[in-house]
Amino acid sequence: MLDVRALEKSYGAKHAVRGVSFTVEKGTVLGFLGPNGAGKSTTMRMIAGVLEPDAGDVIVDGKSILSDRRAAQAALGYLPEGAPLYNDMTPPEFLRFLAEARALPRAGRRDAIDRAIADARISTVSHQRIGDLSKGYRRRVGLAGAILHDPPVLVLDEPTDGLDPNQKRAVRALIARMAPTKAIIISTHTLTEVPAMCHRAVLIDRGRIIADDTPAGIARRSEDGTLESAFARLTDQVEDETQ
Amino acid sequence: MIDVFVRQMSGFGAAYRRELGAYFATPMAYVFLAVFLLALGLFTWEAGRFFDTGVADLQPFFMWHPWLYMIFLPALAMRLWTDEASDGTDELLLSLPVGIPGLVLGKLLAAWTVAAVGLALTLPMWVSVNFLGPADNTAIALTYFVSLLMAGAYLSIGAAVSALTGSQVTAFVISVVIAFVFTAAGWPLVLSTVQGLFGTAFADLVARFSFITQFEGAQRGVLELRAVAYFTGFIATFAYLNCLWASRQRLG
């Protein structure tokens, strides 16, 4: 469903992503983990077609993000880091804008918007401007935008970052509901939610993949069997190697 | 060929409606319209002596258009791309299956529509000039048309520069400077200096690139194809630059 092939990206002298490859099948939720500045967001932005890779390719539902960008982007839902939104719009206005930009069939637009509003549980704030919403609601409006066109592939950059425990649970439940029919990538800093939410985890550090396994499999690589210490050990190890 | 065009222009309608909505969702458009009309009125009556010319035409009104556009239209256009950059929504836009040219032209046309509303609100001037005496209404209609076209040229500068800088203030200042160069190039004061320094032929060339020179023909009531082609070409050039500068972000 999603095939990421040897992505490379440099910003000037900084080599941010160095040959990242992985595939995600339908029904899989992949946790994309790594320290700050490891290249998570850069990789996700390349998958979403926001950033052009220096080398490599991304195949979304059979379409290349390089040679057939619009078709690939049509099959992909993306929640950028921090869920940027148009503050002067209400959530339904924002979703109508996305539906029009994505050229969804006119007849199905209203249904798609109603479904996204219901799925993201934002019907109670429909009349408020997005700029007046709390962080949790803003994140959910962003999520509604990402799932509006019911894409087979979802790329969510820190969907639960900065949310309170209840909001996190709501987002996790939404992802779990969508999981069987989609290929989903989620980046997160909160390692404790990874085993509950993800079937698989890819650990990235300094632009390279250093582990690709089930959350339990990665956890087993540490002495005490927790994901936290495995994360610390694996990312430290890379640091040692490069010194 | 046609399907390439359709693909490149995808997102045009969505961007147009979104931007137009944004202008009127905030006080932005209303403040712009109010201040623009006030300034235009002030210049026409006080500096242009509208009633003292003894001729039933709108010359004292139209002569201020380039100068007021030079200040006001960059202010209208400066937010078009800088707002996307500061809110991070440019990332959202680039993730949509749309063409950059569609977004660029949609945004430009939204700002242009607000400018057109401003121009439409001056129509009472046109009506009142007809009460003063027999007016050449064809000529006035023509001048309005070229003025609107010229407004698009000023806006295209502002829109393109706003995709370049990321800061509204910087975008405004740079746009006004560029707009000033293209306006003042037809100013007699500038032209006589250029003529003294580089000769008549060069001064003529400079004058030909000035908005004022191009607009003068229209003010005389002559529809010069040259002026229409000039402004259309100017808009196309800056819209192209706008596309380049807006897609820069994709390269990282």
Amino acid at B95: S
* CB interface of A with B, residues 3-42, below 8 Å: 9, 11, 42
* CB interface of B with A, residues 24-83, below 8 Å: 25-26
Number of H helices, E strands in chain B: 15, 0
Rounded-to-5 percentages of helix, strand, coil across chain A: 40, 25, 35
Tell me the C-alpha distance between B87 and A135, whole Å: 14
Q: A42 to chain B: which residues are within 8 Å by CB?
A: 252
Asked if B97 has any chain A CB less than 8 Å from its own CB, the reply is yes
CB atoms within 10 A of CB B5: 12
User: Which tens digit of pLDDT belongs to each residue from A180-236?
Assistant: 999 999 998 888 889 888 999 999 999 999 999 999 898 888 888 888 888 888 887
| ipTM exceeds 0.85, yes or no | yes
Asked if A48 has any chain B CB less than 8 Å from its own CB, the reply is yes
Q: Hey, are the CB atoms on A51 and B252 less than 8 Å from each other?
A: yes
Mean pLDDT across A62-88: 94
> In chain B, how many domains are there?
1
- Helix, strand or coil for residue B161? helix
Report the Cα B67 to chain-centroid distance in Å: 11
Nearest to B101 by CA among B147, B163, B149, B152: B163
State the pLDDT at residue A9: 94
Q: Nearest CA of chain A to the CA of B87: how many Å?
A: 6
State the pLDDT at residue B199: 80
Q: Hey, are the CB atoms on B10 and A50 less than 8 Å from each other?
A: no
Asked if A45 has any chain B CB less than 8 Å from its own CB, the reply is yes
User: Which tens digit of pLDDT belongs to each residue from B131-144?
Assistant: 888 888 888 889 99
Tell me the C-alpha distance between A180 and A61, whole Å: 16
Nearest to A51 by CA among A19, A111, A7: A7
Is the predicted pLDDT of residue B49 greater than 80, yes or no? no
Q: Which two tokens stand for residue A22?
A: 């992985």
| A85, A88, A145: residue with CB nearest B22 | A88
Min mean pLDDT across A21-35, B26-40, B45-59, B75-89 is at B45-59
Give chain A's mean pLDDT. 91
Nearest to A49 by CA among A75, A18, A26, A85: A75
Chain A residue closest to B10 (CA)? A101
User: Which tens digit of pLDDT belongs to each residue from B12-32?
Assistant: 999 999 999 999 988 889 999
Interface test with B, best of A87, A109, A158 (most B CBs within 10 A): A87
State the pLDDT at residue A27: 93
Q: Hey, are the CB atoms on A85 and B92 less than 8 Å from each other?
A: yes
Q: Hey, are the CB atoms on A88 and B25 less than 8 Å from each other?
A: yes
* CB interface of A with B, residues 51-70, below 8 Å: 51-52, 69-70
Is the predicted pLDDT of residue B161 greater than 90, yes or no? yes
Q: Hey, are the CB atoms on A78 and B98 less than 8 Å from each other?
A: no
Q: Nearest CA of chain B to the CA of A18: how many Å?
A: 15
Q: What confidence category does residue B55 fall into, taking pLDDT thresholds of 50, 70 and 90?
A: low
Q: B6 to chain A: which residues are within 8 Å by CB?
A: none
Tell me the C-alpha distance between A95 and A147, whole Å: 10
Mean pLDDT across B181-195: 82
Contact assessment for residue B89 and residue A130, using Cβ atoms and an 8 Å cutoff: no
Q: Which two tokens stand for residue B141?
A: 């209609």
Is the predicted pLDDT of residue B37 greater than 90, yes or no? yes
Q: Hey, are the CB atoms on A82 and B97 less than 8 Å from each other?
A: no
State the residue range of the domain holding B27. 2-251
Q: How big is the A-B interface in CB pairs under 8 Å?
A: 80
Domains of chain A: 1-75+152-219 (3.40.50.300), 87-150 (no CATH)
Is the predicted pLDDT of residue A243 greater than 50, yes or no? no
Amino acid at A82: G
Most confident of A38-47, A215-224, B51-60: A38-47
Is the predicted pLDDT of residue B46 greater than 80, yes or no? no
Min mean pLDDT across A71-75, A225-229, B32-36, B179-183 is at A225-229
Tell me the C-alpha distance between A106 and B176, whole Å: 41
User: Which tens digit of pLDDT belongs to each residue from A168-182?
Assistant: 888 888 899 999 999
| A11, A84, A88: residue with CB nearest B92 | A84
Polymer length of chain A? 243
